[in-house]
Amino acid sequence: MRRQIAAANWKMNCTLEQAETLLEDLLQLEHDLSRSRLVILAVPFPYLMLAKDILHGKKGYHIAAQNIHTKSHGAHTGEVSAEMLRSIGIDYAVIGHSERREEFGETHAQLAEKVNIALEYNIKPIFCCGEPFEIREAGKEKEYVAKQIEDSLFQLDDLQMQHFIIAYEPVWAIGTGKTASPEQAQEMHAFIRKIIADRYNAEVASLVSILYGGSVKQSNAASIFHQPDVDGGLVGGASLIAADFSTIIDALKEGLQVT
Ligand code: PGA
């Protein structure tokens, strides 16, 4: 079963009070979540425990951190490790978001280390990739994304790659209101699945959830999510409004039977 996922990326937004209200408002809205359709909320570090408490026992809801360090502990002031997240029961972490690649210079090699340590502590990465505008203009987007995936993920074994979550987020679509068309998203997602099938095998590739991110909103979620190789989305701005994110959750397909 390939899971369909609506993931919220709150980024550096919300006060404690706003975070509480947003989580509670979201829970007021009913969703049909099952083993194959899930919601993951990537909230800022200070609200991880709050989110965990509010979502406790709510089926289908999971919490993610927005980053982790490459090491499990030590003299790394201001950082948060996979070991810490495991100790508070967090199961997911966003790794390699383009804002972190740009603002903090995260390299492919560092991201490979982050992916490895996350898995070591049984934290599932949501690995982000995607090309900047100049690269798409030059027609080199597939090459660019392939390199991001090869360099940071292809050290994984078959078992680790199975059920992995990748978010394709073209940088030119993030926070800009410019969304990739459903066809552009499908083309890249099919390509990502193909390179995974070539490196591993078709069965492993068919189980990877590939999310689309970049200005997903109420009005475009369904047309993008209904593409055959799109398994939901990683949503920034629209995830900060409960009603909007709720409609986006409802746009998920049913989990795909792939075996
Ligand atoms: P956006 O952000 O939905 O606001 O474009 C998506 C993301 O950066 O994950």
Probe ligand 1: pick from 94, 174, 178, max atoms within 8 Å of CB?
A: 174
Look at ligand 1, atom 1, and give the residue with the nearest C-alpha. Answer: 236
**What is the pLDDT at residue 256?**
64
Q: How far is 197 from 206, CA to CA, in rounded Å?
A: 8
Distance in Å, CA 154 to ligand 1 centroid: 25
Tokens of 168: 């394709």
* Cβ of 235 less than 6 Å from ligand 1: yes
Contact 6, 226 (CB under 8 A): no
**What is the pLDDT at residue 94?**
98
Distance in Å, CA 233 to ligand 1 centroid: 9
Contact 134, 128 (CB under 8 A): no
**What is the pLDDT at residue 257?**
65
* Cβ of 233 less than 6 Å from ligand 1: no
* Cβ of 174 less than 6 Å from ligand 1: yes
Beta strand segments in 76-162, E: 92-95, 124-129
122: left (phi over 0), alpha (psi -120 to 50) or beta: left
Domains delineated in the chain = 4-250 (3.20.20.70)
Q: How far is 28 from 38, CA to CA, in rounded Å?
A: 16
**What is the pLDDT at residue 30?**
83
**What is the pLDDT at residue 255?**
66
SS3 41: strand
Tokens of 88: 């508070």
Look at ligand 1, atom 2, and give the residue with the nearest C-alpha. Answer: 236
Beta strand segments in 112-201, E: 124-129, 165-168
Q: Tokens 């292809």 correspond to what residue?
A: 154
Look at ligand 1, atom 6, and give the residue with the nearest C-alpha. Answer: 236
Residues in the chain with pLDDT values less than 70: 255-259
Please give the positions annotated as active site.
Answer: 97, 169
Q: How far is 117 from 123, CA to CA, in rounded Å?
A: 8
Q: How far is 146 from 107, CA to CA, in rounded Å?
A: 15
Q: Tokens 């969304």 correspond to what residue?
A: 179
* Cβ of 231 less than 6 Å from ligand 1: no
Nearest to 238 by CA among 254, 252, 217: 217
